[in-house]
Chain A
Amino acid sequence: MSGATRSVTELLMTAEEPPVGSEGWTRLRDRLTAGVSDAATGLVGGADLEIGLRQVRRARYQPESLHLPDEPFAWRPVFVRRSLGMAAVRACADGRFRGPAEAVGPLADRAVDEWRLSGWRTFHWEPWLAGLGSGGRALVLADAVTWATALWGALDWAGLGATVELGPPDDRWSVPGPGAVRLRGRYEARVVRARPSGPAHRASALLSLSGGRPGDGWRDELAFLALVSGLATPAGPTPVRVVGLWPEAGARRVVDVDERALTDAVDRVVDTVAVTTDVVGAAAAGV
């Protein structure tokens, strides 16, 4: 086990920040609801707004991009690499393959075969991948291998044991009020541990992988994941630490989750809604 993988694993396994209590979560929920309600007042036609990490980052670093019309969706390798890569890491962690390079091909073939037999899409991209030639398929698999290797190589799997959930479903929470603003949190792994006071007080540490490099708002961005997790599953394990990895830049950042960090994340969400509302509103008005 290398020092780097040990330290990431230890960060996930040793999070001890006392969780924010129920009163603290109530304050956070109230602050978020009031702030979003104000910020979303100008949303054109009460349009739906889903705020994920991508929107939070765009609003801060590239607000001008928010007014660009969404391109018609078309499958690309970048949309496959996370889901296929995550399946590969999961299969490697189960001991079925020696590394992502061995896993992605059989997993992709199996998904396509199952879709052909039953029509069931585990990943949604099965028909697209099935329609690619061998050269296109190989490129998609190659991207997934590279993505998966960054995650697989970052952790000491023996040290994590059975406590890690890989690629859990996204956390979702709708902000109460007249607008239709939803929060969505997505992270790559969650480590859940029982706290000394018993299973009713389970704590979790989240691991997030991002492309590029951390921006100056990385602290709020990692705390955002904890915020959505805590709001979406109040009876679930309380997030106490978020570890962010930016493999391209070799960067690692850690946020211990306390009420202040979550409050900053709430304010960042409100800023995101406000900026989005302004930009979209200005575009609609032809400004």
Chain B
Amino acid sequence: MDAPRGESRGRRASDRDSGAHPGVADGPVSRIRELPLAGAALLDHLRVTGRPRPAADPTFTAELRAFLEDGIADLGPSAPPPDEGRWLVTPDRLDRSLSCRAHRRADGTERAFTVPMACGALVGVLFRQLVTVGRIADPMTEALEGLSLDDRQVPLVAWIEGLARAERAELDMEVARQARGLSDRWPSLDPSWLPRTGDAVRVPLGDGTVELTGRVDLAIGRPAGEVATTALVDLASGGRRPAHRHERGFQALVETLRSSVPPFAVATYYSRTGELDVEPVDHELLVAAAKRCLAGTRVLLGEAPSADDAGWCAACAVQLRRPPVVLAGGASDPPVRVGAEPVGLTREEAA
């Protein structure tokens, strides 16, 4: 199956020049502000991307879907689907399935609870609160109250409540600090923009055994229209990581498949620093996201990771890398594709 037609337009000049590898390209598309924005300036940064908002393109959306569905059609799952008869594909699972050998967790299990993870969950609840009611009074108490109402978070709440005093104090302080930043910087959102939080998205593929699934921290704009009017914001309580760009691409992809209209922008808001990374959504972003999603989904379904997949490792992407190159082997050797070697390594060193 050919890639959807956005692929044929080639990579952006900025990507080519930066030498970034596919899927984690840096450059002007990801507009990074070093100083925290607040109020109207923050919203303008989200809403005004400098590009025309994409129109609904049902043909392209159908091509994206066909690309994914055709790409998994030949796979028979190696094991029964683990999630009530389905394979749920999430950004985190894609990251794990596409991790290179060096960054793959040995047991392949879900992440264990950590203080940063707890901080992320608590700040996420506070962000929902701020968007919905416009104020945060007692961050840790309110965040725990909110988290406790979510059945899925019961184990995390218990873990937080069992923290040693020093760790708990550290967590309380960081949550309070980030809550103060949120309150200081995020303006109230006009209700006519239809702001909503925690919006679940699920996109079944093929016979529905594989389902792309995610949850949008904040969505603004009418869900479906002739022209993209929706912006999606993902909240991150830690530092900026290349994986966030993959997550933005995934969110844009599933929203496009769900609504048949892409969001006009996907963004990550860093509550620790107040930075907002915004990416306008175009065909290239969606195609890159679809390719990565397909590669990761195939691994999730039991296919052995290929050398090509190493180029998608989010953890590797913290270092500048060369794009994958095809190195000619000996006369009888097939070409070897190397996509994960740090800059400057020879083929032998990479091996």
Binding site for B on A (CB under 8 A): 2-5, 62, 76-77, 97-105, 132-143, 145-146, 149-150, 152-154, 211-213, 247-250
The answer, among B56, B129, B257, for a CB contact under 8 Å with A135, is B129
Is B195 part of the binding interface, using a Cβ–Cβ cutoff of 8 Å?
A: yes
Q: A138-B129, A142-B128 are in contact. Are A99 and B142 (CB under 8 A)?
A: no
Where chain A touches its partner, the secondary structure class is: helix
5 shortest interchain CB distances as A-B pairs: A135-B142, A135-B145, A2-B225, A250-B258, A102-B191
The answer, among B132, B145, B208, for a CB contact under 8 Å with A101, is B132
The docked-state distance in angstroms from the alpha carbon of A4 to that of B223 is 9
A132 touches B145 (CB 8 A): yes
Is B189 part of the binding interface, using a Cβ–Cβ cutoff of 8 Å?
A: yes
B149 touches A100 (CB 8 A): no
With both chains docked as a complex, state the minimum distance between the C-beta of B174 and any C-beta of chain A, in angstroms. 17
Is B237 part of the binding interface, using a Cβ–Cβ cutoff of 8 Å?
A: no
Which of chain A's residues has its CB closest to B189's CB? A101
Q: Which residues of B contact A248 (CB under 8 A)?
A: 200-202, 258
A99 touches B193 (CB 8 A): yes
Q: Which residues of B contact A136 (CB under 8 A)?
A: 145-146, 148-149
The docked-state distance in angstroms from the alpha carbon of A134 to that of B140 is 12
The answer, among A97, A98, A101, A139, for a CB contact under 8 Å with B150, is A139
The docked-state distance in angstroms from the alpha carbon of A213 to that of B86 is 12
Which of chain A's residues has its CB closest to B145's CB? A135
With both chains docked as a complex, state the minimum distance between the C-beta of A80 and any C-beta of chain B, in angstroms. 10
How many residues on B have C-beta within 8 angstroms of the other chain's C-beta atoms? 49
Q: A139-B125, A139-B149 are in contact. Are A4 and B224 (CB under 8 A)?
A: yes
21 examples of A-B residue contacts, CB within 8 angstroms: A2-B226, A4-B223, A77-B150, A98-B192, A99-B192, A101-B131, A102-B191, A105-B133, A132-B149, A134-B133, A135-B142, A135-B144, A137-B133, A138-B133, A142-B132, A146-B196, A154-B223, A211-B200, A213-B202, A213-B211, A249-B202
Q: Which residues of A contact B199 (CB under 8 A)?
A: 146
The answer, among A100, A152, A250, for a CB contact under 8 Å with B260, is A250
The docked-state distance in angstroms from the alpha carbon of A75 to that of B133 is 21
Q: A99-B194, A142-B198, A249-B258 are in contact. Are A135 and B132 (CB under 8 A)?
A: no
The answer, among A134, A138, A152, for a CB contact under 8 Å with B128, is A138
Is B143 part of the binding interface, using a Cβ–Cβ cutoff of 8 Å?
A: yes
B144 touches A99 (CB 8 A): no
Is B151 part of the binding interface, using a Cβ–Cβ cutoff of 8 Å?
A: yes
Is B259 part of the binding interface, using a Cβ–Cβ cutoff of 8 Å?
A: yes
Which of chain A's residues has its CB closest to B208's CB? A213
The docked-state distance in angstroms from the alpha carbon of A247 to that of B200 is 9
The docked-state distance in angstroms from the alpha carbon of A247 to that of B219 is 14
Which of chain A's residues has its CB closest to B224's CB? A4
Is B190 part of the binding interface, using a Cβ–Cβ cutoff of 8 Å?
A: yes
Is B204 part of the binding interface, using a Cβ–Cβ cutoff of 8 Å?
A: yes
The docked-state distance in angstroms from the alpha carbon of A139 to that of B31 is 31
The docked-state distance in angstroms from the alpha carbon of A98 to that of B193 is 9
A135 touches B223 (CB 8 A): no
The docked-state distance in angstroms from the alpha carbon of A101 to that of B189 is 9
With both chains docked as a complex, state the minimum distance between the C-beta of A139 and any C-beta of chain B, in angstroms. 4
Q: Please count the residue pairs between chain A and chain B whose beta carbons lie under 8 angstroms apart in the complex.
A: 134
The docked-state distance in angstroms from the alpha carbon of A255 to that of B279 is 40
The docked-state distance in angstroms from the alpha carbon of A212 to that of B213 is 10
Is B203 part of the binding interface, using a Cβ–Cβ cutoff of 8 Å?
A: yes
B197 touches A134 (CB 8 A): no
Which of chain A's residues has its CB closest to B133's CB? A138
With both chains docked as a complex, state the minimum distance between the C-beta of B44 and any C-beta of chain A, in angstroms. 20
With both chains docked as a complex, state the minimum distance between the C-beta of A189 and any C-beta of chain B, in angstroms. 17
- Which parts of B136-183 form the interface with A (CB within 8 Å)? 137-138, 141-146, 148-151
With both chains docked as a complex, state the minimum distance between the C-beta of A246 and any C-beta of chain B, in angstroms. 9
Report B104-139 CB contacts with A as 1/0, cut-off 8 Å. 000000000000000000000110110111000110
Q: Which residues of A contact B84 (CB under 8 A)?
A: 62
Q: Which residues of A contact B257 (CB under 8 A)?
A: 250
Q: Which residues of B contact A62 (CB under 8 A)?
A: 84
With both chains docked as a complex, state the minimum distance between the C-beta of A111 and any C-beta of chain B, in angstroms. 16
Q: Which residues of B contact A247 (CB under 8 A)?
A: 223
With both chains docked as a complex, state the minimum distance between the C-beta of A100 and any C-beta of chain B, in angstroms. 7
Which of chain A's residues has its CB closest to B144's CB? A135
The docked-state distance in angstroms from the alpha carbon of A150 to that of B199 is 9
**Residue from B141, B150, B201, B224 having most chain A Cβ neighbours under 10 A:** B224
The docked-state distance in angstroms from the alpha carbon of A97 to that of B192 is 9
Q: Which residues of B contact A142 (CB under 8 A)?
A: 128-129, 131-132, 197-198
With both chains docked as a complex, state the minimum distance between the C-beta of A171 and any C-beta of chain B, in angstroms. 28
Is B241 part of the binding interface, using a Cβ–Cβ cutoff of 8 Å?
A: no
Q: Which residues of B contact A3 (CB under 8 A)?
A: 56, 224-226
The docked-state distance in angstroms from the alpha carbon of A76 to that of B129 is 17
The docked-state distance in angstroms from the alpha carbon of A101 to that of B219 is 12
A140 touches B190 (CB 8 A): no
B146 touches A145 (CB 8 A): no
With both chains docked as a complex, state the minimum distance between the C-beta of B210 and any C-beta of chain A, in angstroms. 12
Q: Which residues of B contact A249 (CB under 8 A)?
A: 202-204, 258
A153 touches B142 (CB 8 A): no
The docked-state distance in angstroms from the alpha carbon of A284 to that of B278 is 57
B222 touches A141 (CB 8 A): no
With both chains docked as a complex, state the minimum distance between the C-beta of B132 and any C-beta of chain A, in angstroms. 4
Q: A135-B142, A135-B146, A136-B145 are in contact. Are A4 and B225 (CB under 8 A)?
A: yes
With both chains docked as a complex, state the minimum distance between the C-beta of B222 and any C-beta of chain A, in angstroms. 5
Q: A77-B149, A135-B129, A135-B142 are in contact. Are A2 and B222 (CB under 8 A)?
A: yes
